[in-house]
Amino acid sequence: METTEAVQPTEDGGLLDSVTTEDSQGTEQQNPEASQISHLAEQEDDTPLDRPDWWPENFWKKDDAAPDLEGIAKSWMDLRKQISQGKHKAPADGKYDASAFGAIPENDPVRSHVLDWAKENGISQLALDSLVGKVVGMSAEKVETVTRSLAEEKAALGPNADVIIKGMTDWARGLVNKGVWGKDDFEEFKYMGGTAKGLKALMKLRETYEGSRIPTESVPIEGAPSKDELYQMVGDPKYKTDPAYRAKVERMFAQNFG
């Protein structure tokens, strides 16, 4: 049997001249289109994610167990804006933007002290705004709480609360003028009468002392706002921010129920 030698590619031959229909293992080339493709989607892992130690906690959605990408993007944009405005450092001329103080007047001693302190310690504008914003916010909440508390105590006294308060105050002042009470006694009276329950207890003592009931009725001025309307005016945001408006409301309270 004659042996056929493999034809070696010559310098003029092509790169595929020696390729046959069989691969080096003698098996037929598989048709790529014949391969099976799995159309079954892989099962998703529903296990909640744990926040990595390197991911900021304030940018992690606890309810969704996922990173707050939108929040961190906004934070980055805010930071770039603050840096571009120079708020990340103290003003070169030492003059701070005091807009964070809001309606606090320029001659307020606390405001002046804070600005001087910031200048002496090289506090950045951003840090000053953050500090002042929190303090002003706390003060506003305190004023709102006190105002709401006083309104609730007056409501507990009834529709003639201001008449009762004025009458009891005049009675206590009379005891001081007569020498029955001293100034310390009057201060204790103010403390005890600071709530509706305390003032009612003092009213009972007074009734026992005088042997008669205390008059508590008042006649509102014709055309004047009602007690409920006045309390609504107290709840208006202008009552805390506008001194003229606040003085007007207090004057109307005094004219109609004081």
Give residue-wise pLDDT tens across range 159-200: 888 888 888 899 899 899 999 899 899 999 898 888 888 888
Is the per-residue pLDDT at 100 higher than 60? yes
**How far, in Å, CA of 64 to CA of 49, rounded?**
9
222 or 90: which leads in pLDDT:
90
Measured in degrees and rounded to the nearest 5, phi and psi for residue 220 equal -65, 150
Structure tokens at 4: 């056929």
Sign of CA dihedral 167, 170, 176, 179: negative
| Domain end position, chosen among 141, 168, 202 | 141
104 with 194, same domain? no
**Any residues with CB less than 8 A from the CB of 233 and at least 6 apart, and which?**
225, 239, 249, 252
**Domain assignment present for 183:** yes
Instruction: Indicate the number of domains in the chain.
Output: 2
136 with 168, same domain? no
169 with 111, same domain? no
137 with 72, same domain? yes
**How far, in Å, CA of 248 to CA of 225, rounded?**
12
252 with 177, same domain? yes
Contact 253, 222 (CB under 8 A): no
**Domain assignment present for 51:** no
**Any residues with CB less than 8 A from the CB of 57 and at least 6 apart, and which?**
51
**How far, in Å, CA of 51 to CA of 58, rounded?**
11
Measured in degrees and rounded to the nearest 5, phi and psi for residue 67 equal -70, 145
- State which residues form the domain around 73: 57-141
| Domain end position, chosen among 106, 141, 176 | 141
212 with 133, same domain? no
Weakest-pLDDT range from 8-22, 223-237, 242-256: 8-22
H-state helical runs in 158-226: 161-177, 183-192, 196-210
69 with 127, same domain? yes
**Domain assignment present for 43:** no
**Domain assignment present for 170:** yes
Q: How far is CA 164 from its chain centroid?
A: 38
Average pLDDT, integer, range 104-127: 81
Query: What percent of the chain clears pLDDT 90, i.e. is strictly above it?
Result: 3
171 with 134, same domain? no
**Domain assignment present for 47:** no
Structure tokens at 202: 């003092």
Residue type, position 42, single letter: E
| Domain end position, chosen among 141, 169, 184 | 141
133 with 189, same domain? no
pLDDT of res. 55: 77
Least Cα distance to 241 among 134, 108, 105, 126 occurs for 105
The pTM score is 0.35
pLDDT of res. 177: 92
Mean pLDDT of the chain: 74
